[in-house]
Amino acid sequence: MTVNNRKKYHHGDLRNALLEAGLGIIETDGVSGLSLRALAAKVGVSHTAPKNHFGSMKGLMTAIGAEGFRRFAAEMRAGLSTASSRMDKLRAAAEGYVRFAQAHPELFRIMFSPEYCDFKSEDVQSAAQDSYSVLVDISKGLDWDKADTPDAQWRTEIMLWSLVHGYATLLNSGQIDDDASGMPVPSIWEVFPEYSYRGEN
């Protein structure tokens, strides 16, 4: 009698189990450690199972990117409910943005890279739009030198996004680090310009 030692999979939602396992591999081994075969082995299913659910590595990475955006949005919203002012909400969202990028650098890279993530995917577009809606909300009413232009809302969104995304990316790439005097890496609010909201002191 032949004994099959392959680990049996008994979960009812294999796609989500594969997705969670993929996220786990990325956290521990980075993007280079993820493959369809490695994913199948991690979950204990046939090597064809991931392909059946995601089609290809690009499909898998796209699904991982969409899930990343969902978690990203949740992290940005984490401190909004306790924020006492609109400026506090801006700070909470921006801190959540940087916190997520630093905690999940490989996932963050996948989410914003067309090399890995298919930005035409409806799942990605929906999840990314949800995270972007946080940025839209904190942009409304911000008082700065472009606040009176016809496209002020769009300009404000892009300005804030560029600041916080650029800062997070520089941190992750090691371009912002302790200086020779031993001073710690500055928080985003030590380098962020001072703003205010119209109608709020």
Residue 181: per-residue pLDDT = 59
Residue 17: per-residue pLDDT = 92
Is 73 a member of any domain?
yes
Is 6 a member of any domain?
no
Is 71 in the same domain as 123? yes
* 84 φ, ψ (degrees, to nearest 5): -95, -15
Residue 6: per-residue pLDDT = 43
Is 50 in the same domain as 69? no
- Domain containing 25 equals 11-55
Q: Are 98 and 186 in contact (CB under 8 A)?
A: no
Residue 182: per-residue pLDDT = 62
Domain count, the chain: 2
Is 134 a member of any domain?
yes
Residue 11: per-residue pLDDT = 52
Is 51 in the same domain as 98? no
User: How far is residue 118's CA from residue 116's CA, in Å, rounded to a whole number?
Assistant: 7
Is 108 in the same domain as 172? yes
Residue 4: per-residue pLDDT = 42
Q: Which two tokens stand for residue 115?
A: 């090399």
CATH number at residue 18: 1.10.10
Is 36 in the same domain as 129? no
Q: Quick one: which H or E segment has residue 134? A: helix 122-139
What does the buried/exposed string (b/e) look like for 118-127 if buried means 16 or more CB atoms within 10 Å of the residue's CB?
Answer: beebeebeeb
Query: Which residues contact residue 130 at a Cβ distance below 8 angstroms, ignoring those fewer than 6 apart?
Result: 69, 70, 73
pLDDT tens across the length of the chain (201 residues) = 333 434 444 456 888 999 999 999 999 999 999 999 999 999 988 888 889 999 999 999 999 999 999 999 999 999 888 878 899 899 999 999 999 999 999 999 999 999 999 999 999 999 999 999 999 999 999 999 999 999 999 999 999 999 999 999 999 998 887 555 566 777 787 777 888 998 775
Is 43 a member of any domain?
yes
Is 83 a member of any domain?
yes
Is 91 a member of any domain?
yes
Is 120 in the same domain as 166? yes
* CB < 8 Å & 24+ apart, contacts of 179-185: none
